[in-house]
Amino acid sequence: MKRTILIGFALMLASLTAFGQNDRRTVCFASINKITEQIYRISYKLIDVASMEILDMSSDIIKNGLEGVVDATGAIAQKLFGSGGGASHSPARGTSTRRSSPSSSSTHPAEPEMVYVEGGTFWMGCTDGQGSDCENDESPAHSVTLTSFNISKYEVTQGQWVTIMGTNPSKNARGDNYPVTNVSWSDAQEFCDRLNTATGKQYRLPTEAEWEYAARGGNQSKSYKYSGSNNLNNVGWFSGNSEGNTHPVGQKLPNELGIYDMSGNVWEWCSDWYSNYPAAMQTDPMGASSGSYRVLRGGSRSSYAPNCRVAYRHYYSPDFSSQFLGFRLVAP
C-alpha cells in the first residue's frame, strides 16, 4: 500500500526577496511529498506579501527519485529568485507617429481583432475616481497626451500563441480562447517579433500610458474605477468570482471602447521600465530609458479588487513568468 509521506515543508519557506524600488516582497511556500521510492510531488506557491496575492503556483510529479527532486528544486529557485535582471534588448516600440484611422481587418490567423483608440489628453494615475485605494506609485496624477493607436480587443489567446510559437506554455485553464499565460515580458517580445515577421505589420506591447488610457475608455471615459464599471464583477474575473481559474476572453462586459478584460483575468505586460511618475505634462511617453523591472497592469483572476483598478501598477523582472501573466497588443 502506497503512503504519501511529507518529507519536506519549506523549500524556501518564508524566503523573502525584494522586488522593485518600493521594496515589494514575496514569500514562497513549498512542499515535497514522497509517493514511491522514485516518484515525488513538488508543490509551491509564491505570494506577494503586501497584497497577499498569489503570483505563481505549481504542482509537479518528479519521476527520477531524489536526484530529480534536487534538480527540480534548483530550477524552481532559479525561476523564482534567480537574477532576472534587465533584458538585453530594448522594448519593441513603434514610432510616435500613428495612423489616425482604424487598422485593416486581420488576415493572419494569429492576428488579434483590434479596437481603434482615438488620441486625446487624460489624467494618468491617482485620480478622484480611484478613491482611497491609490498606492504611492500612482502619484502624482499627471496630464498625458497620446496620439491615436489600435489595441487588441482581447488578451492574446492560447490559440494565437500556438499558431505563432508552436507550443502552449499556459497552466491552469487551457483552450484556444483562453488568454495565454506563463509568459514573460521577453516571451511577449519574441511573439511580437515573430507575428510581425509573419504579417509584415508592427504589433508591439502597449506603453503604460496607452494601456491606462485604453482601460479608462479613452475619450469616451466615464471615470470608472475599473475598466468599464465601478462594479468589478460586471467587467472582470478576480479573486471574488473566478473560483481560482482563468476564463476565456470576452465573457464579461467590455469597457467604453469595447475592449474586454482589462481588469482581471490575467496581468498584462506593458513595454515600459517601471519607474516613478513625473509631475510634468507628457506627450506619447515611452517610460524610463532603463530599469530592472517591466510594468504589469490590470490584475488577474487571483487579485483582490483594488489591484484590478485602471490606475494600479505592478512590475516584475522581464524574464519572470507565471500562470497569472499574459498580455495584449497595440499597433499603428
Domain ranges for the chain, please list them.
5-81, 114-331
In angstroms, how far is CA 51 from the centroid of its own chain? 16
Question: CATH code for 114-331?
Answer: 3.90.1580.10
Per-residue pLDDT tens over the stretch 232-269: 999 999 999 999 999 999 999 999 999 999 999 999 99
Q: What is d(CA 26, CA 230) in angstroms, rounded to the nearest whole number?
A: 29
Handedness of CA 278, 280, 285, 289 (dihedral sign): negative
- Kindly tell me if the per-residue pLDDT of 76 is higher than 90: no
Q: What is d(CA 171, CA 105) in angstroms, rounded to the nearest whole number?
A: 31
Q: Are 285 and 277 in contact, with CB atoms under 8 Å apart?
A: no
pLDDT of residue 9: 37
Q: Are 299 and 263 in contact, with CB atoms under 8 Å apart?
A: yes
Q: What is d(CA 316, CA 19) in angstroms, rounded to the nearest whole number?
A: 7
- Kindly tell me if the per-residue pLDDT of 13 is higher than 70: no
**Distances from the Cα of 104 to the Cα of 21, 86, 112, angstroms:** 41, 35, 11
**φ, ψ for residue 160, nearest 5 deg:** -65, -40
Q: Are 142 and 126 in contact, with CB atoms under 8 Å apart?
A: no
- Kindly tell me if the per-residue pLDDT of 4 is higher than 70: no
Nearest to 164 by CA among 327, 286, 301, 316: 327
- Kindly tell me if the per-residue pLDDT of 184 is higher than 50: yes
Helices (H), the chain: 65-81, 158-165, 185-199, 208-215, 232-235
What is the rounded (10 degree) CA torsion for 75, 298, 122, 290? 0
pLDDT of residue 51: 67
For the segment 262-285, the average pLDDT, to the nearest whole number, is 97
Selected residue with higher pLDDT from 315 and 7? 315
| Range with lowest mean pLDDT among 40-49, 136-145, 229-238 | 40-49
C-alpha cell at 45: 506557491
For the segment 6-35, the average pLDDT, to the nearest whole number, is 54
Selected residue with higher pLDDT from 266 and 38? 266
Determine the Cα angle at 229 with ends 226 and 233, to 5°.
Answer: 85
pTM for this entry: 0.74
| Range with lowest mean pLDDT among 72-81, 102-111, 259-268, 314-323 | 72-81
